[in-house]
């Protein structure tokens, strides 16, 4: 029986939970990228410069970096049901507040805070991982991630038209506000219908909260080092908003942010030490060990896959509008949605291919395809037929999103009780990639932007060759001390 047939044989409860969860993720992406296809209307309403608009794009993905780390810890400790419900409720309110902004400063603050919604992805990874076994988790996570990510395409397709239907100068506000109302109401529904695990299953929790448990002193220092890029890119973002950049923040405010980032880093490192103090002093039993390099490689793979997707979906509608003359706002939004549209098949396909043909081999192929795709996009100009440009975008996006599916086909197989935290760290690296690429985009043209991503992909390809296939089983310890084996094949 092949993977797809086995997947279709699951109980109605499993499939119902999967649909319930991907739609929650779908709504978070609609909220998160509701502004992108409405760029001309928002810029006109606030008389924004291009630099100010690009600052909004960076702000939109910045908070998601620490939010995914925090949400990963919370979901492992409290369970996906309550955490996802609260995130939907809060993000719905933030979305409505963004739609109600009256100044650029308010717009920027609410866009920054709305980035919190991007942490929703982490919750579903843990939840879906609880409901599906290892041999089908790739395709299940792919459906969750792919159909959920399609929310950005749905926003690009629908919100310009919805703004026109509402009409008037505030049509864009009502269109964005509508997505916030939908998210809020679904948060209530999700709490009512979702469950953390199938009936009779155990929800494994970390022994301690505040950071990942690692298995060796070498991995402890490796883990600390892997946290540094997240703080560095947030520091770059603060600089970008300083008087040296778009002048959104004063020099004093930026210095306070720098100090806050240093304090937060020291606090996080102290929590990581607290969680791993016993390991550093006494070691861990062999059956509890895992290799942190697995997490690190998946982090960098998600940096270039999901990070590039976030950056590209933020700028692609405007890229089409500026590259091809004669396109309307709605047409440019629809064409820009071609990148995210492939999520419906590419991310589940990437998960299925990973389940079937191996984790490292599949991810390697997807990363190479991604690099080729971005190289093709770097050559698009106004002389191209629009249809050929769209085909190139869809070719590139297939490998990007299949790569995302392959990454998260493996995440639940590293260490079950810490899946939320591992997903949170990988997800945060996706946003580190997004902020990195969008910051680069603020200095260069679109062609150079695409070439930079292609170059990064080739570097990540080298790292992926060190990824080890999960084999046999993982071991988790129940609260009563009983050891349970979880098959990985």
- Domain ranges in the chain are 10-197+211-487
Cβ atoms of 43 and 53 within 8 Å: the answer is yes
CA distance 410 to 413: 5
Cβ atoms of 28 and 117 within 8 Å: the answer is yes
pTM comes to: 0.81
Say whether pLDDT at 487 is over 60: no
Cβ atoms of 204 and 76 within 8 Å: the answer is no
Q: Could you report the per-residue pLDDT of 104-124, keeping only the tens digit for each?
A: 889 989 999 998 898 898 899
Say whether pLDDT at 377 is over 70: yes
CA distance 108 to 110: 6
Band of pLDDT at residue 355, cut at 50, 70 and 90: confident
Q: Could you report the per-residue pLDDT of 425-458, keeping only the tens digit for each?
A: 998 898 899 889 988 988 888 899 999 999 999 9
Whole-number pLDDT of residue 477: 52
Mean pLDDT for 308-313 is 87
Please list the residues that pair with 477 across neighbouring strands.
Answer: 483
Cβ atoms of 305 and 371 within 8 Å: the answer is no
Whole-number pLDDT of residue 76: 84
Whole-number pLDDT of residue 343: 75
What DSSP string runs through 292-324? HHHHHHHHHHHHHHHHHHHHHHHHHHHHHHHHS
Whole-number pLDDT of residue 466: 94
- Sign, Cα dihedral of 135, 140, 143, 148: negative
Say whether pLDDT at 91 is over 70: yes
Whole-number pLDDT of residue 288: 77
Band of pLDDT at residue 185, cut at 50, 70 and 90: very high
Whole-number pLDDT of residue 473: 53
Say whether pLDDT at 33 is over 70: yes
Residue with tokens 């390099």: 293
Please list the residues that pair with 423 across neighbouring strands.
Answer: none
Whole-number pLDDT of residue 451: 96
Mean pLDDT for 399-404 is 93
Whole-number pLDDT of residue 298: 96
Question: In this structure, what token pair is assigned to residue 181?
Answer: 């109302």
Q: Could you report the per-residue pLDDT of 467-485, keeping only the tens digit for each?
A: 998 765 555 554 445 545 5
Say whether pLDDT at 314 is over 80: no
Counting Cβ atoms within 10 Å, is residue 374 exposed (0-12), middle (13-18) or buried (19+)? buried
Mean pLDDT for 396-407 is 92
Mean pLDDT for 161-169 is 87
Whole-number pLDDT of residue 23: 95
Looking at CATH, the fold of the domain delimited by 10-197+211-487 is given as Growth Hormone; Chain: A; (1.20.1250)
DSSP secondary-structure letter at 249? S
Residue 117's closest CA among 143, 98, 144? 98
Whole-number pLDDT of residue 455: 96
* Cβ-Cβ contacts under 8 Å for 79 (sequence gap 6 or more): 196, 203
Question: In this structure, what token pair is assigned to residue 465?
Answer: 């060759």
Whole-number pLDDT of residue 429: 93
Q: Tell me how far apart the terminal alpha carbons of the chain are, to the nearest angstrom.
A: 14
Query: CA of 387: how far to CAs of 96, 148, 268, 313, 334, in Å?
Result: 36, 26, 49, 18, 12
Q: Could you report the per-residue pLDDT of 234-272, keeping only the tens digit for each?
A: 898 888 878 887 777 788 988 998 999 999 899 989 989
Phi, psi (5° rounding) for residue 387? -60, -40
Percentage above 70 pLDDT, the chain:
93
Band of pLDDT at residue 299, cut at 50, 70 and 90: very high
Band of pLDDT at residue 205, cut at 50, 70 and 90: confident
Whole-number pLDDT of residue 11: 58
Band of pLDDT at residue 322, cut at 50, 70 and 90: confident
CA distance 185 to 93: 11
Mean pLDDT for 196-205 is 80
Whole-number pLDDT of residue 239: 87
Question: In this structure, what token pair is assigned to residue 169?
Answer: 């100068």
Whole-number pLDDT of residue 222: 95
Whole-number pLDDT of residue 5: 52
476, containing H or E segment? strand 473-477
* Cβ-Cβ contacts under 8 Å for 20 (sequence gap 6 or more): 190, 193, 194
Counting Cβ atoms within 10 Å, is residue 478 exposed (0-12), middle (13-18) or buried (19+)? exposed
Q: Could you report the per-residue pLDDT of 34-90, keeping only the tens digit for each?
A: 888 888 899 999 998 888 887 888 788 778 888 888 888 888 889 999 999 999 999
Whole-number pLDDT of residue 321: 85
Whole-number pLDDT of residue 87: 95
Band of pLDDT at residue 489, cut at 50, 70 and 90: low
User: What 3-state class would DSSP assign to 474?
Assistant: strand
Band of pLDDT at residue 365, cut at 50, 70 and 90: very high
Say whether pLDDT at 329 is over 80: no
Pairing of β 473-477 and β 483-487? antiparallel
- Sign, Cα dihedral of 395, 398, 400, 403: negative
Mean pLDDT for 361-378 is 95
CA distance 484 to 474: 8
Say whether pLDDT at 173 is over 90: yes
Mean pLDDT for 218-241 is 91
Percentage above 90 pLDDT, the chain:
40
Across the chain, what does the average pLDDT equal?
A: 86
């Amino acid at each position: 029986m092949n993977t797809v047939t086995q997947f279709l044989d699951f109980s109605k409860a499993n499939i119902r939970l999967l649909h319930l969860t991907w739609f929650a993720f779908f709504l978070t992406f609609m909220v998160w990228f509701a502004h992108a296809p409405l760029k001309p209307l928002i810029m006109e309403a606030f008389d924004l410069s291009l630099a100010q608009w690009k600052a909004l794009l960076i702000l939109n993905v910045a908070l998601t970096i620490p939010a995914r780390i925090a949400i990963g810890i919370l979901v492992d400790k409290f369970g996906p049901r309550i955490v996802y419900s609260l995130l939907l409720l809060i993000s719905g309110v933030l979305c409505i507040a963004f739609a109600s902004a009256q100044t650029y400063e308010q717009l920027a603050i609410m866009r920054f805070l709305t980035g919190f919604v991007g942490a929703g992805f982490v919750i579903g990874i843990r939840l879906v991982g609880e409901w599906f076994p290892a041999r089908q988790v790739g395709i299940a996570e792919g459906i969750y991630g792919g159909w959920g990510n399609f929310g950005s395409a749905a926003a690009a397709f629908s919100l310009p038209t919805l703004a026109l239907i509402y009409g008037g100068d505030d049509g864009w506000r009502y269109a964005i506000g509508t997505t916030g109302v939908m998210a809020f109401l679904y948060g209530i529904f999700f709490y009512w219908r979702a469950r953390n695990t199938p009936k009779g299953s155990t929800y494994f929790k970390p022994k301690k909260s505040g950071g990942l448990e690692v298995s060796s002193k070498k991995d402890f220092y490796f883990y600390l080092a892997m946290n540094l890029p997240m703080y560095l890119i947030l520091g770059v973002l603060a600089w970008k908003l300083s008087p040296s950049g778009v002048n959104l923040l004063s020099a004093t405010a930026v210095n306070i942010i720098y100090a806050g980032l240093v304090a937060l880093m020291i606090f996080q490192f102290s929590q990581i030490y607290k969680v791993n103090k016993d390991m550093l002093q006494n070691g861990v039993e062999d059956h509890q060990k895992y290799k942190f390099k697995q997490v690190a490689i998946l982090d960098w793979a998600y940096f270039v896959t999901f990070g590039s997707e976030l950056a590209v979906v933020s700028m692609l509608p405007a890229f089409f509008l500026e590259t091809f003359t004669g396109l309307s706002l709605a047409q440019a939004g629809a064409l820009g949605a071609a990148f995210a549209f492939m999520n419906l098949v590419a991310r589940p396909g990437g998960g299925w291919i990973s389940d079937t043909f191996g984790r490292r081999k599949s991810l390697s192929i997807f990363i190479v395809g991604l690099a080729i795709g971005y190289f093709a996009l770097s050559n698009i100009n106004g002389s191209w037929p629009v249809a050929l440009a769209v085909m190139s975008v869809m070719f590139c996006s297939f490998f990007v999103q299949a790569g995302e599916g392959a990454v998260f086909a493996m995440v639940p197989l590293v260490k079950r009780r810490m899946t939320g935290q591992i997903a949170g760290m990988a997800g945060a690296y996706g946003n580190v990639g997004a902020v990195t690429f969008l910051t680069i985009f603020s200095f260069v043209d679109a062609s150079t932007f695409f070439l930079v991503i292609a170059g990064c992909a080739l570097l990540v390809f080298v790292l992926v060759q060190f990824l080890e296939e999960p084999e046999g089983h993982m071991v988790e310890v129940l609260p009563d001390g009983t050891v349970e084996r979880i098959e990985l094949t």
